[in-house]
Chain A
Amino acid sequence: MRDSMVFDRMTLAVAVILAALPVLLPSASLAGEILIFAMAALACNLLLGYGGLLSFGQGLFFGVGSYLSALAMIHGGAGLLSALLIAMAAGAAVATLVGAMSIRRTGIYFVMLTLAFSQMGYFLAYTLSDWTGGDNGLLDVPRPDLTLFGVTLVPLGNPYAFYTFIAVLFFIVFVGAKRLIGSPFGSTLVAIRENENRALAVGYDTRHFKLLAFTLSGMVTALAGALYGMLINFVPLSNIELSMSDNIVIMTIIGGTGSLLGPLLGAGAMVILGEVLSDIWPRWMLLLGVGLILIVMFLRGGLWGGVEALAARFGLQRAAKEERP
């Protein structure tokens, strides 16, 4: 039962990556951004890679997390943990609602519904500009210290301290996702992805499972959104735009769906490329478009699929297989 152990090889690899990121990258905030988007991509992957549900509502959950945590801190005087909890609860609630409306349809209709609901959230944020700042974004988002019952445990003003906080949360989410996917719930999701009718026939209430996957995905995505607002001290309207959903889905697919390390790889590749290329050429997204086409044409397993294929070529099939969830 090595798979169910907390400290197997994959988890250890993640721990090493988390420790190495801020050392290898020029800034801790860049490393933090990678982990935040990796968290969002991981949540997207739970739906897409395991449940076969391509959701364009992820940007909505991300934005809800950003806005509600920021508003709770600015207007409600919420501390760090309570702001994050509020974001997670709101993300879970919104995702459950969007999920319940969307999973009544399957296939492409499902995708279109999630996209339309996501746009609805965008226009809601745009309309409620008294609260969200509309086009200007929500300014002066605080980053409170980590306190428990009024006692300051860790001050998070320092970028490296905040990175460590994000990394710890990411690690918890990662281990949680790994256990979840190894659990009967995870296998049922995969069964639904492979053949929903058969899963139904065997007696699973597939609706129930899909909805729960949505709730969990929304919760984690909103957590990522809340952390992002705190990281950049700002909630731009683009946090809830369609392009945010696009980006999260793209990171997930580029990294490789149906694997746990894929999202980290996808988010890392896109955030770093964006950081490097946007300085050189503001229209770097054009290259991203070309990259997407190339991935569809030549690298359908995503980057993680490519890593696995490379490993197989160099005679490491066994190792590559073991890393599979």
Chain B
Amino acid sequence: MLNLYLFQILNGLGLGMIYFLIAVGLTIIFGLLNFVNFAHGAFFMLGAYLCYTLLQLTGAYWVALIAGPLIVAGFAWMVEKVLIRHCYHLPHTFHILITVGIALILQEGSILVWGPIGKSVPIPDMLQGVITFGKFAYPKYRLFLIMFSAVVGFVLWVLLERTRFGALVRAGSENPEMVSLLGADIYRLFSLTFALGVGLAGLAGVLSAPLRGAHPFMGPEVLGLAFVVVVIGGMGSFTGALVGGLIIGLVQSLMSTIWPQGASLMIYAAMAAVIFLRPYGLFGRA
């Protein structure tokens, strides 16, 4: 019984790290660009499909793991240059409208390319099977997922907190005009940050593909979850995205043993409870 709970807690951590990667990308983009990306879930879906295709083409999971997010990020970089750049000065309504448009194109485009029925992605050969600790056995891939995303989270933290790029992103989140006046190329910074944030969503898609597969309509659900994480954790906060993501992952995973049909519902109930008690989220500033 205890093992079952340990199993579900580890599952929840893995799920939570995926939610963290999605939400932290959303939050970085919003923090610097003051732009809400309603296509975030669609880019996650693109990552999952790329994982499927790259595995089909090369048979090597590590290729998908590296190339998948990079392709998504490169695509996002282009989209930023061509479309999104022209909208920063518009109200949020137009940010939402244009990214909803992009999400629709990605969703319908993926049906054209990959068909209306979802694709399942096999767990890579190297990571198949379970790893045992005494009496406790745990799937290798899920353990890899937790460790890999923890490493990515740490690298991201170093990037944001300990590098010049991170300093520019943080300064730009406070006051983009000032950063621009001090000589930094703010538009280049915007493109890179958008590509980074969306690339993280793509990475989350690649990582979750062997567990959840790829499906053309997974975008809206993922977008909703990312919003829940951000609402719980507080927008623009790295810690908030991490804690929010883990809370949601754990709630979903533990509830799925107690009340499987209601697991998704309980995520939203948890959010409503947090919002009721703390309108600005756990780590949000007023």
Binding site for B on A (CB under 8 A): 48, 54, 101, 104-105, 107-109, 111-113, 115-117, 119-120, 123-124, 126-127, 129, 241-243, 246, 249-250, 253, 257, 283, 285-286, 288-293, 295-297, 300
Contacts and interface: CB of A to CB of B under 8 A. Distances in A.
Nearest to A114: B227
B265 A127 contact: yes
Given A113-B275, A289-B100, A296-B94, 15 more contacts: A105-B280, A107-B92, A108-B235, A115-B224, A119-B221, A119-B268, A120-B269, A123-B262, A241-B220, A243-B220, A285-B108, A290-B105, A292-B97, A293-B83, A297-B83
Given A116-B224, A120-B265, A111 B96 contact: yes
B100 A104 contact: no
A289 B235 contact: no
B109 A286 contact: yes
23 contacts: A101-B275, A105-B279, A115-B227, A117-B268, A120-B268, A123-B262, A123-B265, A126-B261, A127-B262, A250-B100, A253-B97, A286-B105, A289-B100, A289-B102, A289-B103, A290-B105, A292-B98, A292-B101, A293-B98, A293-B105, A295-B97, A296-B98, A297-B86
Contacts of A104: 279
B264 A246 contact: no
Contact of B92 (A111, A119, A241): A111
B96 A54 contact: yes
Nearest to B225: A119
Contacts of A243: 220
Given A242-B220, A292-B98, A108 B36 contact: yes
A116 B231 CA distance: 9
A108 B33 CA distance: 13
B93 interface: yes
Contacts of B279: 104-105
Nearest to B42: A289
A291 B100 CA distance: 11
A101 B276 contact: yes
A218 to B, nearest CB: 17
Nearest to B116: A282
A113 B268 CA distance: 10
Which of B93, B103, B230 has the most A CB atoms < 10 Å from its CB?
B93
A255 to B, nearest CB: 13
Main secondary structure on A side of the interface with B:
helix
B90 interface: yes
Interface string B203-240: 00000000000000000110110011011000100000
A285 B90 CA distance: 24
A283 B230 contact: no
A108 B104 CA distance: 21
A112 B227 contact: yes
Contacts of B86: 297
B130 interface: no
A289 B94 contact: no
B227 A116 contact: yes
A249 B96 CA distance: 10
A289 B104 contact: yes
B271 A116 contact: yes
B210 to A, nearest CB: 25
Contacts of A124: 265
Nearest to B266: A123
A241 B107 CA distance: 16
A289 B36 CA distance: 17
B30 interface: yes
